Amino acid sequence: MKQPVAGIAATLIIAALSLAFISLFSFPTFSGWVAYLIDCVIPVHIVMGVIWHAEHPAFAGKKPQPVKGILLVLFSLVIGAILAAILHSTIGHAINPPTPILIFFMINLVLTTFLLTIMWGGWPFVGMIKNPLAAGFTILAAAVVLGYVIFRVFFNFSFMRGAPFFQENDPQGMFNAWNAVVYYVTVIAAMFFIAAFDLWPIHLKPSLMKQPVLGIVWTLLAMVIAYIANYIGVDILKMDVVMFMVTVPIPFIFGTIVVLNMLQGSLYGSLKPPLKGVANVVTIAAVGTVLAHIYLLMMPLVTGPLKPGGPTNDQEIWLASALLSVTFPALVSYAEFFKLWPLKKEG
């Protein structure tokens, strides 16, 4: 198959398989252990895709498909399991099932890994550390450390005091944890928004395209865009902050992986920035929103009816987990590790 047909077919297949996988679990199990364990694999996927370009470790990266894809997935699962065990015994206080606070930390870690690998290009570790494997694992470790600092400084879980899992040494930072995580998710959505424009207009000035300047400029611009989006959605339109997250930034992130990765940017190759960026953003928003609505329609069949809104936000948590904790890494694995094999032959 050729693009965009191959990408569309692959997306529909992965979405169907993801929903079938989700149907195997009750909502508490899915939103607890299942989401947590898969979330622990996502930072590894990001490093393997963005920093290693699916070429490392060498024992997997040099193999033909589908052996290459299978080995890369297995490697990511092993590293993710190790990360899960470490974080469960530390951040999660070894409490079973994983606490909501641990889940928040994992979301924060995924977002921080995106920040370090994409906006900052792995700086300063890429280039400074010649061995790609060592550089990648160092970036992963740096994401954990930086993520922990962000977690302690900005996330406040005082509203969970009284819950059986809450401990007084859990983060009590500057902002309500929901507000903090929603803003951070929106920053990463803004990062993809800028990427959809091929970094226009930043790329017009070559001095801005070198690290760490690019990382600083891109991060600040994403933060400003995220602040404006949150202000409009939450402060002006009075949307519930969790509803805003699953209505705006999460569908946009999900749409990005479809349009830019699954379709391999094939839709608007003849257009030039900024027109290409506008076309990308409109398509990403439309695709992400439509798929999110389809998932919501499928939710009663897959998991059963769940109540939207506070105080538990079950429906919103299900949608976020279904899109970003299950389908997102499945799409990334298929697009980056398998290169859409066998729908599209590599090379």
For 10-19, what is the mean pLDDT? 97
What's the rounded mean pLDDT across residues 275-294? 97
Q: Which two tokens stand for residue 82?
A: 């190790």
pLDDT at residue 347 is higher than 70: no
CB 248 within 8 A of CB 211: no
Angle at the Cα of 250 (from 56 to 254), degrees rounded to 5? 50
Domain count, the chain: 1
Is residue 344 a part of any domain in this protein?
Answer: no
* 221-256 per-position pLDDT tens digit: 999 999 999 999 999 999 999 999 999 999 999 999
- Side-chain-facing half-sphere of 265: CA atoms under 13 Å: 10
Domain for residue 343, yes or no? no
Question: Rounded CA gap, 156 and 158, in Å?
Answer: 6
| pTM for this prediction | 0.96
- The amino acid that residue 210 corresponds to is K
Tell me if 227 sits within 8 A of 297, measured CB to CB: no
14 C-beta neighbours (distance < 10 Å), count: 21
- Structure letter (DSSP) for residue 237: S
Let me know if residue 347 belongs to a domain: no
Output the pLDDT for position 344.
84
pLDDT at 346: 58
- pLDDT tens digit sequence for 39-56: 999 999 999 999 999 999
32's CB contacts (< 8 A; 6+ apart) are 97, 98, 103
DSSP state of 206: G
CB contact at 8 A, 316 and 308: yes
pLDDT tens, residue by residue, 131-188: 999 999 999 999 999 999 999 999 999 999 999 999 999 999 999 999 999 999 999 9
Look at the alpha carbons of 201, 202, 206, 209 in this order and tell me if their dihedral is positive or negative. Answer: negative
Residue 302 identity: V
Q: How many angstroms separate the first and last alpha carbons of the chain?
A: 13
CA distance 77 to 283: 32
pLDDT band (50, 70, 90) for residue 1: confident
297 assigned to some structural domain: yes
Q: What are phi and psi of 224, to 5 degrees?
A: -70, -45
CA distance 315 to 295: 11
DSSP state of 275: H
Residue 9 lies in a domain: yes
pLDDT of residue 265: 83
Residue among 346, 347, 322, 345 nearest 14 (CA): 322
CA 317 to chain centre: 15
**67, 73, 78, 81: CA torsion to nearest 10:** -160
pLDDT of 257 reads 96
Quote the pLDDT of residue 173: 97
Domain boundaries, position 187: 5-337
Amino acid at 131: N
Mean pLDDT taken over the chain: 96
